[in-house]
Amino acid sequence: MYRALTWFVLESGVDPADEERLAQIAPQTSMTVGTAPEGSGRHNSVLVEGKDATPFLVRPDVEGAVSLVSRVPAVREAMVAVQRRIAAEGAIVMAGRDIGTTVLPDAALKVYLDASPEERARRRQRQAAARGEKTELEDVLEGLARRDAIDSGRETSPLRPAADAVIIDTDGLNLEQVVERVMALTR
């Protein structure tokens, strides 16, 4: 959702470092999560002001600006309200850097997936390659380190595992192995 808002901010020509403007935009922006359009190959879509932002969430400019947008307390407050509204609609799996600590601190199960910076960079590079984008591993690693520093150091909802989260180190695990470990916890 932060990426979707970041995409909207960039598309609107707003400077993602303009905290005052972001504080005005975030609470006024309509955001919903719903079923993806038929034939899109996706399960869900994030709509911002009625426009499907999902295909744009992994754009390099969005990736580069998302931590600037998400560090603004008024943005976080607006997004948390939307996320809590969605969670109140029924059983859900949510992923995010503050879901277990801020958004849903009373969730029945909190899982914190972790991986070394190098492994995360390799995964991100493979995802980019699958989209036909060429990236240098060092550039990806640098971007992740920058985002982690911003997200871990922000005053509002810093990146950290919840005290009662189960931490899974995913280094050396494939997607199926990670899913199996999470599913075992749900059982």
Report the Cα–Cα distance between both ends of the chain, in Å, rounded: 28
Return the pLDDT at 157: 82
Return the pLDDT at 79: 93
The string of pLDDT tens digits covering residues 17-49 is 999 999 999 999 999 888 888 888 888 899 999
Answer whether 52's CB lies under 8 Å from 46's CB: yes
Instruction: Say what the pTM is.
Output: 0.79
Percent above pLDDT 90 for the chain: 70
Cβ neighbours for 177, distance < 8 A, ≥ 6 positions apart: none
- Exposure string of 79-98, with b = 16+ CB inside 10 Å and e = fewer, is bbebbeebeeeeeeeeebbb
Average of pLDDT values for 73-96?
Answer: 91
Q: Going from the N-terminus, what domains does the chain have, and what CATH number goes with each? A: 1-92 (3.40.50.300), 94-187 (3.40.50.300)
Return the pLDDT at 178: 96
